[in-house]
Structure 1
Amino acid sequence: MSVRSLVRKVGFGCGLGALLIAGAASGRAATQPDGLSLNPVTPSAVAPVIVNPAPPAPSAASSAEFPDAVMSRNDQGDLTVLRLDGIITPGAERSFVDALHALPARRPLVIELSSPGGFTAAGYRMIDAVLAERKDGRPIATRVRDGESCESMCVGLYLAGYPRYAAPRAEFMVHAPRMAENGRMTMRSTQMMVERLVSLGASPAWIQRVKAEGGFSGARDYRETADRLSADGANIVTDLLR
């Protein structure tokens, strides 16, 4: 797909999609460890865009065990591609939000993702930042390339864009988020994750199928390729790249 045709499609699709944020808070109490939504193997109606007030950015630096995702910007004519490659951390969140704010107003943007996931609180704030930019009139699409994956917390960030492009064999993974300090899951954090995915447009019927196969039980990571998600009516990927 050419840059020019991508600009046209991003601009057209900006207002579409079910983008209603769940009411659950995205921050955390000072005494509560931050959730880590991370792959353990790898360190037709126009709907309004409703954005939660963002909590203050965390003051603590991310652990050296979880290096910040690498951010890069590539301006292509009338379009900017902002790529995030790696783990979603508080540091990656700050770089990502700074990069969004540095763009000219309403300049079309494609967010390209290759990530095993990361910290849920940082990821939720990044989602809110994308939705705020869209509400202010910036067209934002998301994309996952062939041979790359978007896992765990990355899936929520991917869902914040529209249209949502992916190569047919690009891989997506969802699971129950785990606590950073001990690897345990909680029902509350898992329900928050599920509600957030549905609020961003994921098909409730697909979510129920994932649940039935143990995808949010904490016992397994549920993976599907983009072409399979499209065939399943998951409404995760809206456009397959050819």
Structure 2
Amino acid sequence: MPSGSGDVASRQILSIKEEPDSIVLGWSGPVQEPMSERVAAALDRYETDPRRLVLLLNSPGGSIEHGRKVVAAIRGRDRAIDTLVERAGVCASMCVPIFLAGTRRMADPEAYFMFHEASLNSNARENLKQWEISEAEKAFFSQAVKTKVTDELFRHDIGIRGVSVAWLAGMRKKIADRDVWMSGQQLVDEGSGIVDGLVRAPAR
């Protein structure tokens, strides 16, 4: 069922697939309201169910603030919740910290992950436009904010359990002014620690 409103609503779907030994919650769409509320409600629904819980992700990313709410919803449950990205699936930008919130983080070798610098939200861009300073100064402040937010994102949201510090530092340098795409296989081969293991069989 689509959730949210407007254009975002048409691109947000939460599916639920029950199997004898697992429950797969499939999220497809941007990381924006009301993702955290819908994922939390689904997790609450199966709070006492003994079957394995899997959050299947296919997302272009979205809001850092809202992504952190989704992460909190996952980590706030007193049970294992695995994350998975299937073949040809995408986990980009703020989807990556959500993927990392999984107890066991699995991906198809041909799943794709994307890393990039943080972007200023619309409010920040509008506020910057109103400053009575030169365009060069606006560009400088814009880049300074992006750098600070990106550093915080890498340190607190991506640099967590099992992720290689050296690999993360290298990726932080690579993403300057560009998107970096990597497959599940490449992440494992490089020892990133982002993906715990590769799976070829679909979860549903």
TM-score normalised according to structure 2 size: 0.79
Q: What count of residue pairs does the alignment treat as equivalent?
A: 176
Q: Cα distance 1:212–1:132, how it changes in 2: closer, same or farther (>3 A)?
A: same
- Residue 93 of structure 1 aligns with which residue? 36
Matches within 5 A, 1:26-65: 64-65=6-7
Matches within 5 A, 1:156-195: 156-181=97-122, 182=125, 186-195=146-155
- Any idea what the Cα deviations from partners look like across 1:129-152, whole Å, max 9, x if unmatched? 11111xx1x121111111111000
- Any idea what the Cα deviations from partners look like across 1:51-90, whole Å, max 9, x if unmatched? xxxxxxxxxx967343362101111113110000011112
- State the identity %: 28
Which of residues 23, 31, 45 is equivalent to 1:80? 23
Residue 168 of structure 2: SS of its match in structure 1? helix
- Any idea what the Cα deviations from partners look like across 1:87-139, whole Å, max 9, x if unmatched? 11121221111111111326320100000001111110111111111xx1x12
Contact 1:113–1:158 (Cα < 8 Å) also in 2: yes
Quick one: distance in 2 between partners of 1:64 and 1:120?
A: 20
- Residue 112 of structure 1 aligns with which residue? 56
Contact 1:116–1:149 (Cα < 8 Å) also in 2: yes
- Residue 121 of structure 1 aligns with which residue? 65
Structure 1 outlier segments of 4+, above 6 Å = none
Say which structure is richer in helix. 2
Q: CA RMSD in A?
A: 2.1
Contact 2:30–2:60 (Cα < 8 Å) also in 1: yes
- Residue 239 of structure 1 aligns with which residue? 197
Shift of 1:172: 0.3
Which has the higher Rg, Structure 1 or Structure 2? Answer: 2
Structure 2 residue runs of 5 or longer lacking an equivalent are 127-141
- Residue 163 of structure 2 aligns with which residue? 202
- Residue 29 of structure 1 aligns with which residue? none
Shift of 1:187: 2.6
Quick one: distance in 1 between partners of 2:180 and 2:147?
A: 17
* Structure 1 residue 229 corresponds to structure 2 residue 187: yes
Matches within 5 A, 1:211-222: 211-213=172-174, 215=175, 217=176, 219-222=177-180
Residue 224 of structure 1: SS of its match in structure 2? strand
Structure 1 residue runs of 5 or longer lacking an equivalent are 1-60
Contact 1:70–1:92 (Cα < 8 Å) also in 2: no
Contact 2:16–2:24 (Cα < 8 Å) also in 1: yes
Quick one: distance in 2 between partners of 1:64 and 1:202?
A: 36
- Residue 43 of structure 1 aligns with which residue? none
- Residue 142 of structure 1 aligns with which residue? 83
